């Protein structure tokens, strides 16, 4: 069953603004990953954060993980129109990845 | 990073026909591959786990006789949708697990059954 739950479901912002998406999960994990998916396309792996890490950066992306609250956040800074996509968190518990329902991000010029 | 390919990238077929989708790990061996399905505007749902040399493990609600999985080698898993119907139209994505690393996803196969 799906484990990750993202919020918000949809987010609309203007270019240059920051976008924050949250993910909650239910059981213990080895790591948590964030993916991007453009409409009708495959998944693009963005970042992986391990269960013993609290924060990770990659370019304009910042991911936090709070295992006590079983939650993670993805921050995209200085957003661009090209960031428009669906974003999914996925938890790895040593088996297949469990994907959340995703956040649909729209960045308008 | 590791590369996983899928073939075909899209397929349109008539209702009642069978469709085979291939998933290959191009530069590493994968004892385990996963098959996911994604309906429009929804998330990825795990269908089954494909293990090289043994039977696949199906998730609850996935018909094993309809979705045949064969993991014939350490670099190839195939998913055959038998007697496809319009409700099987979906985006099918495979992933390959690299030992001591994470999963690597294929680009997906879009299936449209008329």
Domains defined along chain A, listed by start: 5-108 (2.60.40.10)
Which pair of tokens denotes residue B45? 């749902």
Q: B35 and chain A: CB distance < 8 Å anywhere?
A: no
Residue numbers in A near B43 (CB within 8 A) = 2, 88, 99-102
* B57-70 tens-digit pLDDT: 999 999 999 999 99
All residues of chain B having their beta carbon less than 8 Å from the beta carbon of residue A2 are 43, 45
CB atoms within 10 A of CB A38: 12
Q: What is the mean pLDDT of residues B92-97?
A: 94
Task: Say if CB B6 and CB B108 are below 8 A apart.
Answer: yes
CA distance A101 to chain B (A): 5
Let me know if B57 is exposed, middle or buried by CB neighbors in 10 A (0-12, 13-18, 19+). middle
Please report residues of A whose CB lies closer than 8 A to that of B95: 96-97
Q: How far apart are CA A105 and CA A100, in angstroms?
A: 15
Task: Kindly report, residue by residue over A39-60, the tens digit of the pLDDT.
Answer: 878 899 999 999 999 999 999 9
Q: What is the mean pLDDT of chain B?
A: 93
- Nearest CB among B34, B49, B105 relative to A42 is that of B105
For position A7, what pLDDT does the model report? 86
Cβ separation of B43 and A101 shorter than 8 Å?
yes
pLDDT for position B44: 94
pLDDT of residue A15: 97
Say if residue B7's pLDDT is above 90.
Answer: yes
Output Rg (C-alpha) for chain B, integer angstroms. Answer: 13
Count of A–B CB contacts within 8 Å?
A: 44
Q: Do the Cβ atoms of B69 and B35 come closer than 8 Å?
A: yes
- Residue A45, judged by CB atoms within 10 A of its CB (0-12, 13-18, 19+), counts as middle
pLDDT at residue B1 tops 70: no
Residues in chain A: 109
B97 contact partners, CB below 8 Å, separation of at least 6:
B30, B31, B32, B33, B34, B103
Q: Which pLDDT does position A1 carry in this prediction?
A: 45
What's the CA gap between B56 and B59, in Å, rounded? 10
B48, closest residue in chain A (CA to CA)? A96
Radius of gyration of chain A (CA): 13
Q: Residues of B numbered 53-92 whose beta carbons fall under 8 angstroms of chain A's beta carbons: which are they?
A: 91
Burial classification of residue B60, based on how many CB atoms lie within 10 Å of its CB (0-12 exposed, 13-18 middle, 19 or more buried)? exposed
Dump pLDDT digits (tens) for B32-87: 999 999 998 899 999 999 988 888 999 999 999 999 999 989 999 999 999 999 99
Per-residue model confidence (pLDDT) at position A78: 98
- The segments of chain A whose pLDDT lies below 70 read 1-4
pLDDT number for residue B82: 97
């Amino acid at each position: 069953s799906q484990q990750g739950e993202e919020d918000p479901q949809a987010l609309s912002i203007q270019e240059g603004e920051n976008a924050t998406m949250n993910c909650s999960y239910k059981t213990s994990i080895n790591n948590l990953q964030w993916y991007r998916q453009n409409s009708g396309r495959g998944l693009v792996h963005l970042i992986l954060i391990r269960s013993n890490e609290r924060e990770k950066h990659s370019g304009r992306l910042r991911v936090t993980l709070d295992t006590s609250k079983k939650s993670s956040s993805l921050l995209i800074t200085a957003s661009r129109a090209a960031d428009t996509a669906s974003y999914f968190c996925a938890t790895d518990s040593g088996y297949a990845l469990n994907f959340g329902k995703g956040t649909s991000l729209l960045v308008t010029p | 990073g590791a590369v996983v390919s899928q073939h075909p990238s899209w397929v349109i077929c008539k209702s009642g026909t069978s469709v085979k989708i291939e998933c290959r790990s191009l530069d590493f061996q994968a004892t385990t591959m996963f098959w996911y399905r994604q309906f429009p505007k929804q998330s990825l749902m795990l269908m089954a786990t494909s293990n090289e040399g043994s039977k696949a493990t199906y998730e609850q609600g996935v018909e094993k006789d309809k979705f045949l999985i064969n993991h014939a080698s350490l670099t190839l898993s195939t998913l055959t949708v038998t007697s496809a119907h319009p409700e099987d139209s979906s985006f099918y994505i495979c992933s390959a697990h690299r030992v001591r690393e994470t999963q690597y996803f294929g680009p997906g196969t879009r299936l449209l059954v008329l």
